[in-house]
Amino acid sequence: MKKLRYIILIALAFAGAQPVAKAQSEAFLEAIRLYYSNNVRAAFNQFKRVVDTEPDNDAAYYYISTMLRDTTAAAENLRKAVELDPDNYWYNYALAQNYMSQGKHEMAAEIIEKLLTDHPKKTSLYSDLIGIYNATRQYDKALEAIDKVESVVGQSDALATIRTDVLLAQNKPQEAYDYMLGYYEQTHSPRAACFLAQYNAAAFNNQEALRFYDEALEVNPFDTEARYGKAHVHRAMGQYDQYFENINPFLANPDIMPKAKSDYMADVLSQQQFVYTFAPQVDTMMMNLYASAPADSSVCALTSTYLYQRGRVDDALALAQLNADTYPESYNLNFTYPLMRYYSGDYAGVTSSATVALQRFPNDYDLLQLRASSFWQLGEFESAIEDYKTSLAVSPKGSEKQLRCYSALGDLYHTTGNQKTAFGYYDKALKVDAGYAPVLNNYAYYISERYPEPVKKVPKDLRKALQMSRTTIEKEPDNATYLDTYAWILHLMGQDLEAKAHFKHAMIHGGKESGVILRHYATVLKALGENDLAGVYSAQAARLGE
For position 537, which CATH number holds?
1.25.40.10
Q: Which amino acid is located at 388 in the chain?
A: Y
- The answer to whether residue 207 is domain-embedded is no
Q: Domain check: are 123 and 97 in the same one?
A: no
- Note the pLDDT of residue 9: 37
Q: Domain check: are 3 and 28 in the same one?
A: yes
Query: CA–CA separation, 231 vs 210, rounded Å?
Result: 9
- A 10 A CB-CB count for 543 gives 10
- Note the pLDDT of residue 152: 72
- The answer to whether residue 503 is domain-embedded is yes
Confirm if 23 and 59 have CB atoms less than 8 A apart.
no
- The answer to whether residue 439 is domain-embedded is yes
Q: Where are the beta strands (DSSP E) in 217-351?
A: none
What is the enclosing helix (H) or strand (E) of 53? helix 40-53
- The answer to whether residue 60 is domain-embedded is yes
**pLDDT tens digits for 25-56?**
888 999 999 999 889 899 999 999 999 999 99
- The answer to whether residue 529 is domain-embedded is yes
What are the phi and psi torsion angles at 280 (to 5°)?
-65, -40
Query: CA–CA separation, 344 vs 374, rounded Å?
Result: 12
Q: Is 249 left (phi over 0), alpha (psi -120 to 50) or beta?
A: alpha
Tell me, what DSSP letter sits at residue 175? Answer: H
Could you list the residue range(s) of the whole structural domain that residue 128 is in?
Answer: 103-187
Q: Domain check: are 96 and 117 in the same one?
A: no
Confirm if 152 and 121 have CB atoms less than 8 A apart.
yes
Q: Domain check: are 12 and 91 in the same one?
A: yes
Number of domains in the chain: 3
Among 234, 230, 241, 293, which residue's Cα sits nearest to residue 265? 293
- Note the pLDDT of residue 298: 86
Confirm if 498 and 490 have CB atoms less than 8 A apart.
yes
Maximal C-alpha separation, the chain: 112
- Note the pLDDT of residue 22: 57
Confirm if 485 and 520 have CB atoms less than 8 A apart.
no
- The answer to whether residue 280 is domain-embedded is no
- Note the pLDDT of residue 23: 61
Give burial (CB, 10 Å; 0-12/13-18/19+) of 117.
exposed
Q: Domain check: are 542 and 532 in the same one?
A: yes
Tell me, what DSSP letter sits at residue 396? Answer: P
Q: Domain check: are 36 and 78 in the same one?
A: yes
Query: CA–CA separation, 546 vs 518, rounded Å?
Result: 9
Q: Domain check: are 78 and 153 in the same one?
A: no
- The answer to whether residue 169 is domain-embedded is yes
Residues belonging to the chain: 546
pTM: 0.63
Q: Domain check: are 538 and 480 in the same one?
A: yes
Confirm if 441 and 485 have CB atoms less than 8 A apart.
yes
Residue partners of 109: CB distance under 8 A and separation at least 6:
129, 132, 133, 136
Among 87, 111, 84, 83, which residue's Cα sits nearest to residue 98? 111
Query: CA–CA separation, 218 vs 194, rounded Å?
Result: 12
Last residue in a domain, options 102, 120, 136 = 102
Last residue in a domain, options 163, 187, 211 = 187
Query: CA–CA separation, 528 vs 446, rounded Å?
Result: 25
Q: Domain check: are 122 and 96 in the same one?
A: no
Last residue in a domain, options 48, 83, 102 = 102
Q: Domain check: are 114 and 75 in the same one?
A: no
- The answer to whether residue 341 is domain-embedded is no
- Note the pLDDT of residue 19: 52
Q: Is residue 200 classed as helix, strand or coil in its secondary structure?
A: helix
Query: CA–CA separation, 47 vs 60, rounded Å?
Result: 6
Among 249, 248, 185, 243, which residue's Cα sits nearest to residue 223? 249
**pLDDT tens digits for 456-479?**
999 999 999 999 999 999 999 999
Q: Domain check: are 72 and 143 in the same one?
A: no
Q: Domain check: are 439 and 546 in the same one?
A: yes
Ranges of residues in the chain whose predicted pLDDT is under 50: 1-17, 20-21
Q: What is the CA radius of gyration of the chain?
A: 36
